[in-house]
Structures are given as structure tokens and as C-alpha cells.
Amino acid sequence: MMKETEMKPCPFCGGKATVKVCDGSGSFYTDIGTEMFLGRKMTHCLIRCERCRAKTQAYLTRRGVFNAWNRRADNEQREAD
Ligand SMILES: [Zn+2]
């Protein structure tokens, strides 16, 4: 399988960001890279910083949430310059 796009570090604290997947119940789970996990179906996902808990909005696809996270990381870095 192809590796997902590299995630940028958190734009706020530089911490490690991770993908969280949701099954529609409002609970988040660690992403294992598949649509099905623990017998559940992924309905949406978001990216959250493990250090400061900054997170994106929920997106339907990993591609969408990756783009959103990386775009924000770019924006924040530009504003900080
Ligand atoms: Zn952070």
C-alpha cells in the first residue's frame, strides 16, 4: 500500500500530529490506515496535535484532512515569518 502524504508538525507548538478516525458515534480512534477498524466503518477523520490538542475540522477523507492540516501548517509558518 502507498504511504499517506507526510504530515507536517503542529503549526502552533511543533508537536507530533496524528490522524484520528471516527465511526459516527463521536468517539475517535487511532487511524490504522483502513476504512474499517475494530469492526467499525470510518465516517470521517481529523488530525490532532498530541501535545497541544490543536485539531482540524472533521473531513470525510484522509486526503482532505491531510491537505487541510498541511495547508494550515504552511499558513501559520508564513504568518510567523
Ligand atoms: Zn500542537
The H-assigned helical ranges of the chain are 62-80
pLDDT in tens, 44-53: 999 999 999 9
If you measure from the C-alpha of residue 3 to the centroid of ligand 1, how many angstroms do you get, rounded to a whole number?
Answer: 23
The predicted structure's pLDDT at residue 50:
95
Contacts of 36 (CB under 8 A, 6+ apart): 42
| Ligand 1 centroid, distance to 5 Cα (angstroms) | 19
Residue 62, C-beta contacts closer than 8 angstroms, at least 6 positions apart = 4, 19, 31, 45
Tell me the pLDDT tens digit for each residue of 4-45: 567 899 999 999 999 999 998 889 999 999 999 999 999 999
Q: In this structure, which residues have their CB less than 5 angstroms from ion ligand 1?
A: 10, 12-13, 15, 49, 51-52, 54
Distance 17 CA to ligand 1 centre (A): 7
Å from CA of 55 to ligand 1 middle = 8
3-class DSSP state of 18: strand
